[in-house]
């Protein structure tokens, strides 16, 4: 199983930011990515619909023999991770628990420094993710002393999809969404959507400017990559390079599946991956 690929799915292409982090953290692992672009966004759907979508996406990837499943979608993680863990005979990692864990570590550091913001964690996410209370539960499972303040940011995903990553429009949108978090004096802001890392610099700058001091920003994609690396090590599933050097096969092997090919596919995939996207396979689920 060590040479089997990792399976990653998201409601669209934003989850490719998680793939990018995984490739950086685990360069010898092959990855099969499924973007459910025909049914994006998940954030506006009912919980029952999201569960059905998550189950079908997981089915596509498990039939390709993946050794672990990464739910690279905050909405699907909030609703469907426990169901998938119960139904599948392989490890399942969502993006919420790693992001929450990273934020709790920042809160502990701020507390040691005597920073009064140490008791509050901010979360930017889709309306469904914020309403689910998933981050509140995840943080509460790690510490009962921390408060989670959520802010739904529905315009940020279409801005990223359109490539509006800098300039006045994304800056003003970000300022509006993080204003309640700054007012609540949060010590960190978790990027609770896989699209948001592409706006990380804008979010960090705006939060620091509005608050008058630095605000830590948690990229759940990087936190998830660290969590997957730890899981593979613990389960003995990590693919090791050959004695001849790093595996060129795994470095170059990224299978990209989508349920629809949007007009902006190439540009969006390139932005998320930080590289030219591989050939894409259209699948019907």
* 73 belongs to the catalytic site: yes
Which helix (H) or strand (E) segment is 82 a member of?
A: helix 74-87
Q: What order do you get walking across the sheet with 216-219 strand by strand?
A: 147-152, 120-125, 188-192, 216-219
Closest CA to 20 of 162, 29, 281: 29
Q: Using DSSP, state whether 104 is helix, strand or coil.
A: helix
Beta strands in the chain (DSSP E): 6-10, 31-35, 68-71, 92-94, 120-125, 147-152, 188-192, 216-219, 254-258, 280-282
Catalytic choice (107, 149, 193, 207) = 193
Count, in order, helices (H) and strands (E) of the chain.
12, 10
User: Any idea which residue has 């995903």 for tokens?
Assistant: 157
Contact 272, 20 (CB under 8 A): yes
Closest CA to 66 of 195, 239, 249, 233: 239
Both structure tokens of 106: 């920042």
Catalytic choice (50, 73, 203, 258) = 73
Beta-carbon contacts of residue 162 (< 8 Å; ≥ 6 apart): 264
User: Any idea which residue has 């690396």 for tokens?
Assistant: 229
* 272 belongs to the catalytic site: no
Contact 27, 250 (CB under 8 A): yes
Q: Using DSSP, state whether 140 is helix, strand or coil.
A: helix
Both structure tokens of 131: 């309403």
Angle between helices 134-142 and 96-112 (to 10 degrees): 50
Which are the catalytic amino acids?
Answer: 73, 193
């Amino acid at each position: 199983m060590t040479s089997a690929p990792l399976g990653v799915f998201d409601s669209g292409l934003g989850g490719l930011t998680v793939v990018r982090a995984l490739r950086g953290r685990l360069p010898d692992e092959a990855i099969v990515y499924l973007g459910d672009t025909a049914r994006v966004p998940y954030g506006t759907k009912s919980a029952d619909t999201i569960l059905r979508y998550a189950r079908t996406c997981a089915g596509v990837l498990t039939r390709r023999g993946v050794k672990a499943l990464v739910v690279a979608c905050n909405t699907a993680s909030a609703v469907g991770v426990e169901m998938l863990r119960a139904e599948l005979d392989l490890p399942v990692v969502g993006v919420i628990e790693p992001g929450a864990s990273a934020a709790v570590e920042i809160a502990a550091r701020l507390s040691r420094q005597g920073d009064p913001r140490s008791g509050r964690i901010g979360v930017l996410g889709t309306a469904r993710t914020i309403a689910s209370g998933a981050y509140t539960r995840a943080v509460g499972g790690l510490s009962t002393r921390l408060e989670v303040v959520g802010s739904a940011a529905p315009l940020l995903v279409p801005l990223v999809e359109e490539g509006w990553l800098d300039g006045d429009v994304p800056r003003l949108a970000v300022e509006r969404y993080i204003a309640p978090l700054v007012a609540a004096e949060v010590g960190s802001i978790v990027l609770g959507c896989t699209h948001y890392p592409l706006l990380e610099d804008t979010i960090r700058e705006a939060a620091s400017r509005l608050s008058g001091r630095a605000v830590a920003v948690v990229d759940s994609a990087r936190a998830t990559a660290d969590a997957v690396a730890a899981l593979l090590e613990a389960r003995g599933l990590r693919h090791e390079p050959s004695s001849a050097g790093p595996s060129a096969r795994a470095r170059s092997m990224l299978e990209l599946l989508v349920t629809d090919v949007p007009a902006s596919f190439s540009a969006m995939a390139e932005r998320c991956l930080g590289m030219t996207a591989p050939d894409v396979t259209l699948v019907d689920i």
